[in-house]
């Protein structure tokens, strides 16, 4: 310690801060990666049971080591670089896909005090990060120099940009209720039992948010960006080995992120549903797990949307619904029933 | 030199580099991506000034929406680079003159003593950049703000009207008609006897073989 403080001189405090922050980042990213790994297993198990199959059960007890085996397999596979591809961008694509998915976690609160960066514009920051995620897909599709990949990336970009608008409007409703952009304050605004959570007064917005979230993450039934039956695998058709795995990780990390946001903004975050039970991070994890289960349930239930139906749903159904409900909320706040919306 | 100074110089260097690459790179897609990088670093510099709303809005609007659509168009265009470069030396004197003019203007603005903000006031502890900006926009500057919104709306409607062309030969679907389709419009259920009469049992002689 003495040696280091001598080495850095007056910068010692800054260096300490940076190192301490890095440790905290690892403490968030590492469990997240494990969650992502086991979400893939959960997906195969859940969909397996829904289709009256067993799912993976060979590697470890109940297939518990399957994610590790998958990871190792992908790690040892050759990364093929298409000759006609744009080399630099081909590698930047996966990085740009996964970086925002992790960066957004900087402002996510896990508890009243447990948060990496407690910033005032937290909601805006998350919105900005999720909107940047689209670059990974676009760049990957273009740099591959393949028709299928390019079509997939165009589909995905158009879809993400359209649903982002509806998603942004639902967040406007939340911040009108909470009077704050800080995620911690939004959760604390829902204190006092599940009838105070925002999903009740903002029910249409909650539904629109979650469906848009499914569309944003390119999950079934909105997974036309992959569309195995039409364009093979969409934007990541040319990727193999670890580069492909990074796209996979980004998709699942994004799923966990949007589920977490849905829980924080509409389902009371770490608050317990009834006043006599203590608030704890366990509630948060249970709620997020339920939202993730819905993702898997959707995938096992619904057939893929047709592309024009996706666009119609986003632009002509969701955006009008959110606009009308924001006006309803704003009008109600001026009446004697305003307490219902706070 | 404090830590924020180092951050500022790093960001400024990246900003200048990416700004220069936007106009010097040959590939238009690379140019657009360098522009994205420039936006990002500019947002970082704004964050250093504690203007977090403007910084995030820059990323949200320009990086998240405008540049995505820009890339969309640039990627699909088949641009002939040599043709773009054709009149470069011809136009250079004119472009240089305009550039010089802009530099002179900027220097005059920046060198003006009255425009120097001096030391910025220390922000109070629970100061929220977003809330302050919102309050000012919707009270003191309400009219200009709404006017800007109306101008944008008019521009949007005009852009759609200008590019909207009815094509006679285009085949389109009516989604609401499709949604209203019921099972009975497409499917006819025919009732049939569930069991078919069993065929005659095979002769006993063959069975013995």
User: How many alpha carbons fall within 13 Å on the CB side of residue A15?
Assistant: 10
Contact between A173 and A325 (Cβ < 8 Å): yes
Examine the pLDDT at B100 and tell me if it is beyond 90. yes
Q: In this complex, is the C-beta atom of A119 within 8 Å of any C-beta atom belonging to chain B?
A: yes
- Residue B25 sits at the chain A interface (C-beta within 8 Å): no
Claim to verify: residue A17 and residue A64 sit in the same structural domain: yes
Chain B residue numbers with beta carbons less than 8 Å from the beta carbon of A120 are 52, 128-130
Structure token pair of residue A132: 């940047």
Residues A216 and A293 in one domain: yes
At residue B126, the pLDDT reads: 62
Q: Which of B37, B128, B134 is nearest to A122 (CA)?
A: B128
pLDDT band for A75, please (50, 70, 90 cuts): confident
How would residue B102 be classed by pLDDT, with cut points 50, 70 and 90?
A: very high
Structure-block tokens of residue A209: 């948010």
Instruction: Indicate whether A4 and A117 sit together in one domain.
Output: no
Q: What is the pLDDT of residues B116-166, one digit of tens each?
A: 655 555 566 666 777 788 888 888 889 999 999 999 999 999 998 888 877
Compute and round to an integer the Cα radius of gyration of chain B.
33
Last residue of a domain, one of A76, A100, A135: A76
Contact A125, A181 (CB under 8 A): no
Q: Are residues A110 and A241 in the same domain?
A: yes
Residue after which a domain boundary falls, among A49, A76, A103: A76
Q: Are residues A263 and A332 part of one domain?
A: yes
Q: Which pLDDT score, from 0 to 100, does residue A233 have? A: 73
B152-204: per-residue pLDDT in tens?
999 999 998 888 877 777 777 777 788 788 888 888 888 888 887 777 776 66
A148 and A25 share a domain?
no
Examine the domain organization and report whether A173 and A318 are in the same domain: yes
pLDDT of B101 > 60? The answer is: yes
Do A183 and A224 have their domain in common? Answer: yes
Name which of B7, B55, B75, B170 to mutate to probe chain A: the one with the most chain A Cβ atoms within 10 A of its Cβ: B75
Split at pLDDT 50, 70, 90, the class of A274 is confident
Chain A's closest residue to B71, CA to CA, is A138
Q: What is the mean pLDDT of chain B?
A: 81
**Per-residue model confidence (pLDDT) at position B147:** 94
Residues A55 and A113 in one domain: no
Concatenating the DSSP letter of every residue in A123-158 gives HHHHHHHHHHTHHHHHHHHHHTT-HHHHHHHHHHHH
- Give the angle subtended at the CA of B58 by the CAs of B57 and B64, to the nearest 5°: 90
Closest C-alpha among A173, A136, A116, A118 to residue B36 = A136
Q: What is the pLDDT of residues B52-81, one digit of tens each?
A: 888 888 888 888 888 888 888 888 777 666
Does residue B1 register a pLDDT over 70?
Answer: no
Distance from C-alpha of A267 to C-alpha of A262, rounded to nearest angstrom: 7
- By CA distance, what is B172's nearest residue in A? A308
- Which tens digit of pLDDT belongs to each residue from B76-87? 777 666 676 677
Q: Which of A76, A106, A128 is the last residue of a domain?
A: A76
Mean pLDDT taken over chain A: 84
Q: Do A6 and A155 fall into the same domain?
A: no
| Same domain as A99, residue A19 | no
**Is residue B207 over pLDDT 70?**
no
Number of domains in chain A: 2
> What digits encode the pLDDT tens for the residues A161-187?
888 888 888 888 888 888 888 888 888
> Rounded CA gap, A269 and A272, in Å?
8
Q: Which residues of A touch B174 (CB under 8 A)?
A: none
Helix, strand, coil content of chain B in percent (nearest 5):
70, 0, 30
For the segment A224-246, the average pLDDT, to the nearest whole number, is 78
Residue A161 class from Cβ within 10 Å (0-12 exposed, 13-18 middle, 19+ buried)? middle
- Kindly report the pTM of this predicted structure: 0.82
Q: Which among B28, B68, B171 is the top mutation candidate for probing chain A, defined by the most A β-carbons within 10 Å of its own β-carbon?
A: B68
CA separation for the pair A148, A141 (Å, rounded): 8
Q: Which helix (H) or strand (E) holds B123?
A: none
Q: Which domain holds residue A16?
A: 1-76
d(C-alpha B30, C-alpha B89), whole Å: 23
């Amino acid at each position: 310690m003495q040696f280091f403080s001598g080495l850095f001189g007056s910068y010692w405090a800054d260096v300490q801060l940076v190192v301490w922050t890095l440790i905290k980042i690892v403490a968030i990213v590492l469990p997240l990666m494990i969650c992502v790994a086991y979400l893939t297993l959960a997906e195969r198990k859940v969909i397996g049971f829904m289709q009256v199959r067993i799912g993976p059960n060979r590697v470890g007890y109940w297939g518990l080591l399957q994610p590790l085996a998958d990871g190792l397999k992908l790690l040892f596979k050759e990364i093929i670089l298409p000759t006609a591809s744009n080399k630099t961008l081909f590698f930047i694509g996966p990085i740009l896909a996964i970086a925002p998915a992790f960066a957004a976690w900087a402002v996510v609160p896990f508890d009243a005090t447990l948060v990496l960066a407690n910033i005032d514009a937290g909601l805006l920051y998350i919105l900005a990060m999720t909107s940047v995620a689209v670059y990974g897909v676009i760049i990957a599709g273009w740099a591959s120099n393949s028709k299928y990949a390019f079509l997939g990336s165009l589909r995905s970009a158009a879809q993400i940009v359209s649903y982002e608008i509806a998603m942004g409007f639902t967040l406007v409703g939340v911040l009108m209720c909470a009077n704050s952009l800080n995620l911690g304050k939004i959760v604390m605004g829902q204190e006092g039992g599940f009838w105070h959570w925002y999903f009740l007064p903002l029910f249409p917005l909650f539904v629109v948010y979650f469906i848009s979230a499914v569309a944003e993450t390119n999950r079934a039934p909105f997974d036309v960006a992959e569309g195995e039956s039409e364009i093979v695998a969409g934007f990541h058709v040319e990727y193999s080995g670890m580069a492909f795995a990074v796209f996979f990780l980004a998709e699942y990390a994004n799923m966990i992120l949007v589920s977490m946001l849905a829980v924080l903004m509409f389902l009371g975050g770490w608050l317990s549903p009834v006043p006599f039970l203590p608030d704890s991070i366990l509630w948060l994890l249970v709620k997020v797990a339920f939202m993730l289960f819905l993702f898997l349930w959707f995938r096992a239930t619904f057939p893929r949307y047709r592309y024009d139906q996706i666009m119609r749903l986003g632009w002509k159904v969701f955006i009008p619904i959110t606009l009308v409900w924001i006006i309803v909320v704003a009008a109600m706040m001026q009446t004697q029933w305003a307490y219902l919306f706070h | 030199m404090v830590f924020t100074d180092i951050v500022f110089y790093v960001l400024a260097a990246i900003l200048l580099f990416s700004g220069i690459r936007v106009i010097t790179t040959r590939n238009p897609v690379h140019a657009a991506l360098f522009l994205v990088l420039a936006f990002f670093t500019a947002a970082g510099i704004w964050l250093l000034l504690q203007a977090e709303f403007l910084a995030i809005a820059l990323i949200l609007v320009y990086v998240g929406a405008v540049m995505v659509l820009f890339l969309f168009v640039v990627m699909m265009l088949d641009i002939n680079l040599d043709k773009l470069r054709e009149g470069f030396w011809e136009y250079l004197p004119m472009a240089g003159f305009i550039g010089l003019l802009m530099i002179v203007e900027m220097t005059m603005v920046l060198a003006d003593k009255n425009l120097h903000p001096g030391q910025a006031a220390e922000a109070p502890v629970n100061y929220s950049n977003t809330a302050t900006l919102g309050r000012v926009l919707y009270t003191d500057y309400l009219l200009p703000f709404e006017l800007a919104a109306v101008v944008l709306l008019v521009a949007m409607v005009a852009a759609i009207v200008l590019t909207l062309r009815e094509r006679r030969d285009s085949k389109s679907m009516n989604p609401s008609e499709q949604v209203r389709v019921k099972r009975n419009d497409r499917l006819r259920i025919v009732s049939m006897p569930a069991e078919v009469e069993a065929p005659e049992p095979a002769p006993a002689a063959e069975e013995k073989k």
